[in-house]
């Protein structure tokens, strides 16, 4: 076993602090990764705070990981020592169920193994990327194209795939109108990716404070949701509304923005339930759907798409000792647009 440095939450209401954790021996199918960078996802904050239920503390968050392969098990063929690799929100699944076989490992019938805070298939509790090293089954290790800036590539492993997957599924492309709700980590990548796919993109943000950014990222339109006129002006206009908001929204108001057959897809995952008036769906044959990250093959497809289109998130690189401050700023919607921890500061 390897003892490595990490940053962990000791409990739901205490700040994260430096600690050490152990990583398992490199098994036949495993890859040991020396972590270079780890993004801070709002899900890390929801999880640590217990928004989604009780957690096994101390907990090391982090599921937007890039690093270099330091060692491989004898059965590993897809990765070699020295390769630039990434790990996202899951590190294992059963591999046998229909969903796994279909490339939807995130919907594994036995439950996918989350990168942190979950029981791995050997029973150990997983610990995430705010750390110097991680050991991961090779089937859940992605290749990070050389052309992508390494630090900026980290958030693609969660924020990138979480937005890419529903955009693809709901046929984003030329002639399609896509509205992105919330211009945070996920939202700003959704804008870049949807624009690269050829759609006409609208940002719906709480205020107009980030309008210049939104237009620079690739949106054609930008509206403040605090202004009731926005919902009148945009009624019935979007084929797809992608909700990335981390808090409860007025679902009916956003459904009213959809065309007939349009879809509101929720990737935001607030602690409290969302409710809707079913007439908002009936009166337009509309769909309200959810989507969780993406499968492994699709995640590789997303990385290759981003490399081809020169897409990386806009990031702020921080040392690990600033993680608590970063959490406060994410909660205040004061992030432009993703914090990334430099793992060298953990060494």
Report the residue from 6, 21, 36, 41 that binds ligand NAP according to the rule CB under 6 A. 41
Residue 330 site contact among Zn ion, ligand NAP, none (CB < 5 to 8 Å, cut-off depends on kind): ligand NAP
Q: Is 267 in the site for ligand NAP (CB under 6 A)?
A: yes
Nearest residue (beta carbon) to Zn ion: 41
| Alpha-carbon distances, residue 2 vs 7, 32, 71 (angstroms) | 16, 10, 12
Q: Which residue has the tokens 């004898």?
A: 74
Region binding Zn ion by CB under 5 A among candidate stretches 130-138, 151-159, 237-245, 251-259: 151-159
Rule CB under 6 A: is residue 246 a binding residue for ligand NAP? Answer: yes
**Rounded CA Rg of the chain:** 20
Please report how close the Cβ of residue 298 comes to ligand NAP at its closest, in angstroms. Answer: 12
Round to whole Å and give the CA distance between 157 and 6.
20
Over the range 140-165, which residues count as b (16 or more CB within 10 Å of their CB) and which as e? bbbebeeebebbbbbbbbbbbbbbbb
Q: Give 40 or 135: the residue with its C-beta nearer to ligand NAP.
A: 40
Size of the residue set binding ligand NAP (CB under 6 A): 29
Q: Site residues for ligand NAP, window 102-131 (CB under 6 A)?
A: none
Element (H, E) at 180: strand 177-181
- Does 55 participate in binding ligand NAP (rule CB under 6 A)? no
Decide if residue 195 touches ligand NAP (CB under 6 A): no
Cα→Cα distances 301→138, 268, 294, Å: 17, 22, 10
Q: Rounded to whole angstroms, how far apart are CA atoms 346 and 332?
A: 26
The site for Zn ion, by CB under 5 A, has a size of 3
Residue with Cβ nearer Zn ion (144 or 158)? 158
- E-strand ranges in 206-256 read 221-224, 238-243
Q: Does 41 bind Zn ion (CB under 5 A)?
A: yes
Q: Of 39-47, 90-98, 109-117, 136-144, which part binds ligand NAP (CB under 6 A)?
A: 39-47
Q: CB of 249: closest distance to ligand NAP in angstroms?
A: 6
Per partner kind, with CB cut-offs from 5 to 8 A, the member of Zn ion, ligand NAP, none near residue 206 is: ligand NAP
Q: Mention every residue, 6+ apart, whose C-beta is less than 8 A from residue 310.
A: 147
By beta carbon distance, the residue nearest ligand NAP is: 184
**Distant-in-sequence, close-in-space partners of 332: CB < 8 Å, separation ≥ 6:** none
Summarize as ranges the residues that interact with ligand NAP (CB under 6 A). 41-43, 46, 158-159, 162, 182-187, 205-206, 244-247, 267-270, 291-293, 330, 333, 335
């Amino acid at each position: 076993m390897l003892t490595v440095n990490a940053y962990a939450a000791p409990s739901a209401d205490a700040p994260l602090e430096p600690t050490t954790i152990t990583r398992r021996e490199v098994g036949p199918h495993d890859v040991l990764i020396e972590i270079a960078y780890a993004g801070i996802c709002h899900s890390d904050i929801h999880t640590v705070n217990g928004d989604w239920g009780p957690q096994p503390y101390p907990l090391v968050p982090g599921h937007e990981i890039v690093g270099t392969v330091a060692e491989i098990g004898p059965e590993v063929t897809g990765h070699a020592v020295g390769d630039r690799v990434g790990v996202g929100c899951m590190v294992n699944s059963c591999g046998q169920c229909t969903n796994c076989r279909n490339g939807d490992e995130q919907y594994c019938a036995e439950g996918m193994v989350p990168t942190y805070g979950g029981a791995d298939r050997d029973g150990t509790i997983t610990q995430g990327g705010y750390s110097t090293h991680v050991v991961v089954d090779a089937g859940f290790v992605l290749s990070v194209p050389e052309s992508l800036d390494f630090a900026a590539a980290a958030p693609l492993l969660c924020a990138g795939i979480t937005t890419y997957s529903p955009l693809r599924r709901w046929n984003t492309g030329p002639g399609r109108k896509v509205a992105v709700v919330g211009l945070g980590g996920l939202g700003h990548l959704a804008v870049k990716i949807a624009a690269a796919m050829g759609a006409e993109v609208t940002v719906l943000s709480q205020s107009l404070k980030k309008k210049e950014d939104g237009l620079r990222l690739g949106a054609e339109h930008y509206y403040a949701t605090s202004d009731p006129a926005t919902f009148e002006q945009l009624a019935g206009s979007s084929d797809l509304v992608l909700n990335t908001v981390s808090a409860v929204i007025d679902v009916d108001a956003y459904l009213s923005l959809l065309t007939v057959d349009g879809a509101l897809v929720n990737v935001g995952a607030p602690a409290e339930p969302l409710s809707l008036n079913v007439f908002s769906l009936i009166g337009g044959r509309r769909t309200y759907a959810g989507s969780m990250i993406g499968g492994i093959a699709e995640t590789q497809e997303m990385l290759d798409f981003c490399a081809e289109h020169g897409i990386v998130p806009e990031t702020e690189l921080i040392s690990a000792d600033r993680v608590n401050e970063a959490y406060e700023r994410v909660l205040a919607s004061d992030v432009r647009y993703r914090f990334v921890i430099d793992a060298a500061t953990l060494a």
